[in-house]
């Protein structure tokens, strides 16, 4: 998570669009992590940049951001609707409140 060493200027709108596209590919009932998405895009050290891209989804674009959690399965702090959206999709949670990644982590390579 050392994306502070990356030239953030190169993460233009095209990077955000790539992040949005990957997130749109996550199937209902599955989740991914910021780090997994960053690795998939070839910049594994940029998980925080993925989070920033998801925070800045333009109006009129539907991106299922609720399907992205941190590496432990923890939800976005302060976003109370995220858990409800995931529960509606059949996502289960462990006792500590984190998504059960063993059951619900999206395997991108298996879906190709």
Residues forming the active site: 65
Q: How would you write 37-64 as a 3-class SS string?
A: HHHHCCCCCCHHHHHHHHHCCCCCCCCC
| Angle, vertex CA 78, rays to CA 73 and CA 80, nearest 5 | 75
């Amino acid at each position: 998570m050392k994306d502070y060493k990356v030239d953030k200027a190169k993460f233009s709108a095209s990077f955000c669009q790539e992040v949005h596209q990957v997130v749109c590919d996550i199937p209902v009932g599955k989740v991914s992590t910021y780090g997994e998405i960053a690795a998939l895009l070839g910049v594994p050290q940029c998980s925080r940049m993925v989070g920033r891209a998801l925070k800045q989804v333009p109006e009129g674009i539907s991106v299922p951001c609720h399907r992205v959690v941190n590496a432990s399965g923890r939800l976005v702090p302060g976003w109370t609707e995220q858990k409800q959206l995931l529960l509606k999709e059949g996502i289960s949670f462990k006792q500590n409140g984190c998504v059960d990644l063993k059951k619900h982590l999206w395997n991108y390579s298996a879906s190709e």
